Amino acid sequence: MQKQVTVALQTVCDLSMQDYVESEQSVDEQNKIADKIAELRDSLNPQQKQLLNQLLDDINNSDSRFSYEVFTQGVLFGMSLITNTTVA
């Protein structure tokens, strides 16, 4: 049951952030980051490129888990305020 709630909250988080992710500001920021990564990648040998890719994947995965956790805790906190109970 907990897994289903977590997946549902992650889906709600993704949907609620979709407008921001598709915004001009976010797209511009992501493009600038991608350009810098591409510039760095061009200066690396194949092994270093693989290491960079793994590092970026790890950072992205960690950031995603953190974001989902913060969103979930915020939703649960909001629910506890509404119901005046503690949700764990």
Residue 2 pLDDT > 80? no
35-50 per-position pLDDT tens digit = 999 999 999 999 999 9
What residue segments make up the domains of the chain, in order of their start?
Answer: 2-83
Which runs of consecutive H residues, i.e. helices, occur in the chain?
Answer: 2-21, 24-42, 46-83
30-88 per-position pLDDT tens digit = 999 999 999 999 999 999 999 999 999 999 999 989 988 888 888 888 888 888 765 55
Place of tokens 């350009």: 35
d(CA 9, CA 38): 33
Cα→Cα distances 25→28, 31, 32, 49, 88, Å: 5, 10, 11, 28, 35
